[in-house]
Homo-oligomer: A and B are copies of this chain.
Amino acid sequence: MKLEEAKRSFIQTWARLGSEWGINRTMAQVHALLLATDKALTTDEVMEELSISRGNAHMNLRELMNWNLVYREAVPGERKEYFRAEKDIWVVAKRIARERKRREIEPLFRELSQMQNVEEDSPEAKHFVKTVTDITGFAGKIDQSVETMLKADENWFFGTILKLLR
């Protein structure tokens, strides 16, 4: 398999995976392109490689920066902005987990908690409250597990930094 072919294939696979998990197809493509490339790219290069418009490239690069999956890289003597992806896959996973937890799990958790205050005493109401309570408990456990994972990573990070400073 040739490199260019493999890259295209990787971009396509990543895009499909993204849309299966609720991530915009183009955002996943841009991410894949940057993951597959060993240098920082400009907006124009992203547009060219993926045959997408400037607006689209721009918005998705910005969104990837919001997720902390892509960062700007200054290139001396160049006016344009260059973008590079975080390549450490564990860091990538951690950042996606943090972002989805923050945007989705935490609000879910809060909303579900509200629903347990059903002022009614019928069997239907009891059943409903039990279901919601079970789900809330489950969401809490997931939330807690992700939190532990992220905290463990912070400690690891902190430990590494300390070693460097020592």
Binding site for B on A (CB under 8 A): 1-3, 6-7, 9-10, 13, 17, 19-22, 35-38, 87, 89-90, 93, 103-104, 108, 111-112, 114-115, 117-120, 122-125, 127-128, 131-132, 134-135, 137-138
18 contacts between A and B (CB under 8 A): A2-B118, A3-B124, A3-B125, A6-B115, A6-B128, A13-B108, A19-B22, A20-B104, A21-B104, A35-B131, A35-B135, A36-B132, A38-B124, A38-B128, A89-B131, A89-B134, A89-B137, A93-B138
Residue in B17, B103, B108, B123 whose CB lies within 8 Å of A38: B123
**Interface residues of A, dominant DSSP:** helix
- Within the complex, what minimum Cβ distance (angstroms) separates A84 from chain B? 12
Count of chain copies:
2
Known: A6-B118, A108-B13, A138-B93. A131 touches B20 (CB 8 A): no
- Report B-chain residues with C-beta under 8 Å of the C-beta of A13: 108, 111-112, 115
Q: How far is the CA of A19 from the CA of B145 in the complex (A)?
A: 23
The 10 closest A-B pairs by CB, nearest first: A38-B127, A22-B22, A89-B134, A6-B115, A89-B138, A3-B125, A3-B120, A6-B118, A13-B111, A21-B22
